[in-house]
Structure 1
Amino acid sequence: MRPFLASADLDWVPADNPETPVPLRAVVRLLVEITRAAGPDTPYRIINGRGGYEIGLINNAAFRGPTVRDGFARVSRAMPAHCTHEVLTVADLADGLHIRDGWTYDMGDNEAAHCVQQYVAALVDMICSVACPDAPRAERVEMLPHPEAGLSHLHSWLGNRVHCAPLRALDFTIRAEVAEARFPDDVLARANATDGYITERLVPDGSLPKQVSVLVAAMLSRTSPDLDRVAAGAGISGRTLRRVLQWHGTSFSELVERTRARIALDRVSKDTDASLKSIAADLGYADQATLSRAMRRWTGETPSNLRENRLRQN
């Protein structure tokens, strides 16, 4: 797995935090490369047998239910906190439930779109299976076929219920008895005991500088957020990113500095259990002294003084 992550420039992503923001383009590239290596039904096999809580926010939203229908309504509301470009809509039908998953981002060729749609279909199927482990969950699934394998590789998972999509969106129709099924009590209890179901939008204003700052914040403690790497995540050249940021009245170095300052001030003030040395390391500073110099530049105070003042105020 490590070579695939490195090829997609995702080897810096922490394995223990599924909510770390990552570039969507890189994730799609990772999924396509793994599928090419392991077979056309790989996205379904990745999801099959997974516990829902390994997926993070989306499945935690779904499992609050209490029914499958209610769960997917929660997923739709939670989507802006999960992905900047994915749009999931849920519509009640007289005999079931219709789910459509589309993207404001161009996935590229049909191979990439098929891999993403198959992955989402497998997630929907898995969520339904928690409430209905035995019954066929899908009444009908429409997705783009794989350019070489078509849809035949999904017959073992979905039978004859999978069809070619007339549009570039995924359509998943669930039967009424599945839509009204309740999640088990232990699943509901665990989901409702977990913090973080609905959080703020991943990128509140949708601007490129804000998107860049979200990615920079995720990268700081793991890798160097240099301009070319961030630009590659957006599918543009470093030169183009520099020009767009300049049009917004900022620069990449200024965004990195502001992001570091925001995180540092928040952690020094609120995360009093963390040492200043560990905060400096998490922000990519060489040592605590470098953090102290930066803090004095931002606030005129040392981190220790700032923390002491905030503690006295509280």
Structure 2
Amino acid sequence: MPHSIPLIRAAAITPIRRWVEERGEDVGPFLARADLSWVPADDPALPVPLRSVVRLLVEISRAAGPDTPHRIVNGRGGFEIGLIGRAAFRGPTVRDGFARIARMMPAHCTHEIFTVALSGDGLHIRDGWAYDLGDDEALYLVQQYVASLIDMICSVAHPEAPRAERVEMVPHPEAGLNHLRPWLGDRLQPAPLRALDFLVGSDVAAQRFPKGAQERAREANGETGRRIASGASLADQVSALVAVMLPRTTPHLDRVAAAAGISGRTLRRALRQNGTSFSDVVERTRAQIAVDRVRNDTDVSLGSIAADLGYANQATLSRAVRRWTGQTPRSLRSGLKSRIEPGKPVSETRLSK
């Protein structure tokens, strides 16, 4: 199976952060173990590694109990989940809202397969993954989280429980499903397949979202609904993640490999088979970011740009820009066309390989 780096919007971890902090606990150690400490809390549109988000959910659930995903989501509004919540509440009905989510999912996650089909006058919602999320514990917790989000969105239009006619999910490998019976009762069943199936009845599917939720969804700002740009090749996907990490943290080889679920050695070998190397991908990506920022962020000093991208000083950035483009930063800011060639290796090797 080809290696890939699945990404998801940082909005997926917003409810998790909030829940831990409301319990009076420090979310920092959990974020550190999942390698998400570098992700800002105020940028829900930022694409982040899906594997890290899953690990965060697993770590917190192991500490707080197997029903943690439901407790994180239960009783909360849907705007915490960014684009997905806004898409839903523009509905205007529950049925329309979930159809919108299905269309918007590629803008939220690169590897999530969210489908909505009519089931009589109700809805059959299925959520699966074009990627191995890990063992049954991880899959169970993710499915519980998604099921809770579906139920929460329904609750905005139909507050009375239950809202699901049937839910099928992978059981927890030790706790099974019984601990979720207070929420779903006998409507909860083990999944014969490994996908989450959530059946919404016709009475719920036809409900309209409150006008206030619809108006807020129309007025909300945020990500535009464009598909997350990750690229078809592994090198492109590495570049996409590196571009997100560079202004915020150091994209070491092993950190990027972990996002793909492989070792650093395997990532290095896979990139070599694609005719490139990790250091070349990092530096090509950094070159593209630097040239773009020097040209367009004219209100930001070159020193600040150099610091953001990990250069020792402004002079180092200036030399690099001239090497890549044949022009000085001042020429770029004057609007002259650069000659940087996409895909051409560069020789800057100061970052760790």
1:192 aligns to 2:192 (yes or no):
no
In 1, Cα distance between equivalents of 2:177 and 2:253: 40
In 2, Cα distance between equivalents of 1:271 and 1:91: 45
> Superposition pairs for residues 36-55 of structure 1, below 5 Å?
36-55=62-81
Q: Which residue number corresponds to residue 199 of structure 2?
A: 173
- Paired amino acid for 1:166: P
Report the more deviating stretch, 125-134 or 111-120: 125-134
Tell me if structure 1 keeps the 8 A contact 2:77–2:153. no
> Superposition pairs for residues 69-218 of structure 1, below 5 Å?
69-193=95-219, 194-203=221-230, 205-218=231-244
Report the more deviating stretch, 283-292 or 144-153: 283-292
1:244 aligns to 2:270 (yes or no):
yes
The one-character-per-residue Cα deviations of 1:114-137 (angstroms, maximum 9, x if unpaired) are 001001101111111122223422
Aligned-pair distance for 1:310? 6.3
Tell me if structure 2 keeps the 8 A contact 1:64–1:188. yes
Do the aligned partners of residues 107 and 268 (structure 1) sit closer, same or farther apart at CA in structure 2, a change above 3 Å counting? same
- Paired amino acid for 2:229: L
Q: Which residue number corresponds to residue 65 of structure 1?
A: 91
Superposition CA RMSD, Å? 1.9
Give the TM-score taking structure 2 as reference length. Answer: 0.82
The one-character-per-residue Cα deviations of 1:210-239 (angstroms, maximum 9, x if unpaired) are 111111111112211011111122111111
Report the more deviating stretch, 31-40 or 73-82: 73-82
Report the more deviating stretch, 284-293 or 162-171: 284-293
How many positions carry a matched residue from both structures? Answer: 310
**Secondary structure of the equivalent of 2:47?**
coil
**Secondary structure of the equivalent of 1:10?**
coil
- Paired amino acid for 1:47: V
Tell me if structure 2 keeps the 8 A contact 1:142–1:162. yes
Question: Match for 1:284 among 298, 305, 310?
Answer: 310
Do the aligned partners of residues 52 and 167 (structure 1) sit closer, same or farther apart at CA in structure 2, a change above 3 Å counting? same
Q: Which residue number corresponds to residue 33 of structure 1?
A: 59
**Secondary structure of the equivalent of 2:59?**
helix
Aligned-pair distance for 1:26? 1.9
Identity of aligned residues (%): 69
After superposing on structure 2, the runs of 4+ consecutive aligned residues of structure 1 that deviate more than 4 Å are none
The one-character-per-residue Cα deviations of 1:89-132 (angstroms, maximum 9, x if unpaired) are 11012130010001111122211110010011011111111222
Aligned-pair distance for 1:197? 4.0
Tell me if structure 2 keeps the 8 A contact 1:269–1:310. no
Return 5+ residue gaps in structure 1 as ranges.
none
Question: Match for 2:296 among 270, 295, 306?
Answer: 270
In 2, Cα distance between equivalents of 1:163 and 1:10: 33
In 2, Cα distance between equivalents of 1:310 and 1:152: 66
Tell me if structure 2 keeps the 8 A contact 1:78–1:197. no
- Paired amino acid for 1:307: R
- Paired amino acid for 1:101: D
Do the aligned partners of residues 133 and 292 (structure 1) sit closer, same or farther apart at CA in structure 2, a change above 3 Å counting? farther
Tell me if structure 1 keeps the 8 A contact 2:45–2:223. no
Do the aligned partners of residues 142 and 196 (structure 1) sit closer, same or farther apart at CA in structure 2, a change above 3 Å counting? same
Aligned-pair distance for 1:201? 3.7
**Secondary structure of the equivalent of 2:335?**
helix
Q: Which residue number corresponds to residue 224 of structure 1?
A: 250
Aligned-pair distance for 1:155? 1.9
